Amino acid sequence: LSSDGSISYTIATQEGGTQFKEGNATQTFGYNGSYLGPIIRIRKGQNVHLTTVNKLEENTSFHWHGLKIPSNVDGGPHSPIKPNGTATVDFTVMQEAATLWFHPHPEGRTGEQVYNGLAGLIYVEDENSDSLDLPKDYGINDFPIIVQDRFFDEDNQFNYQDIQNMDGTQGDTLLVNGTINPYIEVKNEKIRLRLVNGSNARNYQFNLSSKESFYQIASDGGFLNEPVQMDTLQLVPGERAEIVVDVSDYKKGDNVKLMNGNAEVLSINVVEGINPEIKSLPETLNKISTSFNSVSVPDKELTFSGMGNMVAINGKQFDMERIDLQAKTGTTEIWEINNSNDMMGGMIHPFHLHGVQFKVLDRNGKVPPANEQGWKDTIALYPGEKVQIEVEFPEKGIFMYHCHILEHEDNGMMGQIIVE
């Protein structure tokens, strides 16, 4: 942090060994460490300088997933950083308070680099997040929860090259923040979990082992207008949600588990009794204008189709030299995104758009669920679904949109829009 309030970070991609389990260390990638990376904390209105040093033996890039940002600093496939190369970006934060994440985006190599460990969180704060009476003590009642699945071979290696699946690489072991069988120790109060689906391809259905409900307070791009009571929360790859789990009535020694269906993700262990300070959640968290006016003739239509190496958007595979769509800054557009479900069984494609936060207007002719009525940058597209979104680009340049199953993205389920 410098005297003018601007903030500088230096991030190095590096190889390392990570001791996930007994026996051999796993060969991994990390930012400033052997696996995952630090939390980058920035504020709305702040000037940010970030230097990425690439200590890998291959190209990488630094992508700010979810940040409203000019395209020259967005870190997509047009901005490779060579081995031993360095890249610096400068920008002013336009984004309101939110939990975002960063990961590499090199052409054709995103899946492998993320799987090997390159990802981290971005916390954006602003006056609203300062003033809201929410749990915000890092590691005490406010926790980053990056959920990933990995497969370990008999030597404890990831071996992405051998196990990768063109329709999404999944593993049989769940990790939270790079830890197997994770737990957190808390007081009996309200606990905020900033959930990030950092998996290449797995969809999660989060619930609590107690079958109690919890409150979702934020979606991808910031706070929801009000807390939304939930029993289950789905997150597709790339999606985030902040939830509050209330263990105020629990006693020392009690625990509740965050589950994915029937599988344990995280144990929340109450180790200390107190008189909780936050009695109830704020009724109003944000002031996002909501109107769900879908249209019969959208400004743009995107159709996701195919599987494996046949994945395509509007029948085309990614070509760095081809611009697929055009838009103007300051113009609100309505896009319809379809999952054509043209193969037996079909797949959920998580749709993601760079450089913006958008609103979901309509899911198959219906108003979106309450927890999707806030800012989004990634949404589930079920087989056969039609979703309309409202989007406005704040910045000029070239931005990517793609399926966030990282192997689909690497296989060409990606396009680019030029904003003028």
**405, 414, 417, 419: which one binds Cu ion (CB under 5 A):** 405
Could you tell which of Cu ion, ligand C2O, none binds residue 105, using a CB distance below 5 to 8 A set by kind? ligand C2O
Could you tell which of Cu ion, ligand C2O, none binds residue 190, using a CB distance below 5 to 8 A set by kind? none
Residue 68 binds ligand C2O, judged by CB under 6 A? no
For the bound state, the minimum distance from the C-beta of residue 52 to ligand C2O, rounded and expressed in Å, comes to 16
CB nearer to ligand C2O: give 239 or 242.
239
CB nearer to Cu ion: give 349 or 386.
349
How far apart CA 286 and CA 218 sit, in angstroms, is: 9
Could you tell which of ligand C2O, Cu ion, none binds residue 103, using a CB distance below 5 to 8 A set by kind? ligand C2O
Residue 408 binds Cu ion, judged by CB under 5 A? yes
Residue 65 binds Cu ion, judged by CB under 5 A? yes
Q: Which range in 147-155, 242-250, 270-278, 397-405 contacts ligand C2O by CB under 6 A?
A: 397-405
Kindly list the distances between the CA atom of residue 313 and the CA atoms of 164, 171, 320, 340, 348, in Å, as whole numbers in the listed order.
22, 27, 14, 10, 14
**109, 349, 363, 402: which one binds Cu ion (CB under 5 A):** 349
For the bound state, the minimum distance from the C-beta of residue 264 to Cu ion, rounded and expressed in Å, comes to 27
**202, 402, 405, 407: which one binds ligand C2O (CB under 6 A):** 402
Residue 105 binds ligand C2O, judged by CB under 6 A? yes
Residues in a beta bridge with 29: 15
How far apart CA 417 and CA 371 sit, in angstroms, is: 27
Residue 400 binds ligand C2O, judged by CB under 6 A? yes
Could you tell which of Cu ion, ligand C2O, none binds residue 359, using a CB distance below 5 to 8 A set by kind? none
**403, 414, 417, 419: which one binds Cu ion (CB under 5 A):** 403
For the bound state, the minimum distance from the C-beta of residue 101 to ligand C2O, rounded and expressed in Å, comes to 7
Could you tell which of Cu ion, ligand C2O, none binds residue 48, using a CB distance below 5 to 8 A set by kind? none
Q: Which range in 81-89, 272-280, 368-376, 400-408 contacts ligand C2O by CB under 6 A?
A: 400-408
Site for ligand C2O in 203-262 (CB under 6 A): 238
CB nearer to Cu ion: give 118 or 186.
118
Go through 210-232 and write b for each residue having 16 or more CB atoms within 10 A of its CB, e for each that does not: beeebbbbbbbbbbbbbbbebee
Could you tell which of Cu ion, ligand C2O, none binds residue 238, using a CB distance below 5 to 8 A set by kind? ligand C2O
How far apart CA 412 and CA 356 sit, in angstroms, is: 21
Query: Closest by alpha carbon to 278, among 189, 186, 187, 216?
Result: 189
Specify the residue for token string 């207008």: 225
Could you tell which of Cu ion, ligand C2O, none binds residue 150, using a CB distance below 5 to 8 A set by kind? none
Question: Per-residue string for binding with ligand C2O, 321-360, x by CB under 6 A?
Answer: -------------------------------x-x------
Could you tell which of ligand C2O, Cu ion, none binds residue 386, using a CB distance below 5 to 8 A set by kind? none
Q: What is the CA radius of gyration of the chain?
A: 21
Could you tell which of Cu ion, ligand C2O, none binds residue 194, using a CB distance below 5 to 8 A set by kind? none
Q: Are 264 and 175 in contact (CB under 8 A)?
A: no
- Residue whose CB is nearest to ligand C2O in the complex, by number: 65
Q: Which range in 11-19, 197-205, 267-275, 348-356 contacts Cu ion by CB under 5 A?
A: 348-356
**Which residues of the shown chain bind Cu ion in the complex (CB under 5 A)?**
65, 349, 354, 403, 405, 408
**Which residues of the shown chain bind ligand C2O in the complex (CB under 6 A)?**
63, 65, 103, 105, 238, 352, 354, 400, 402, 404
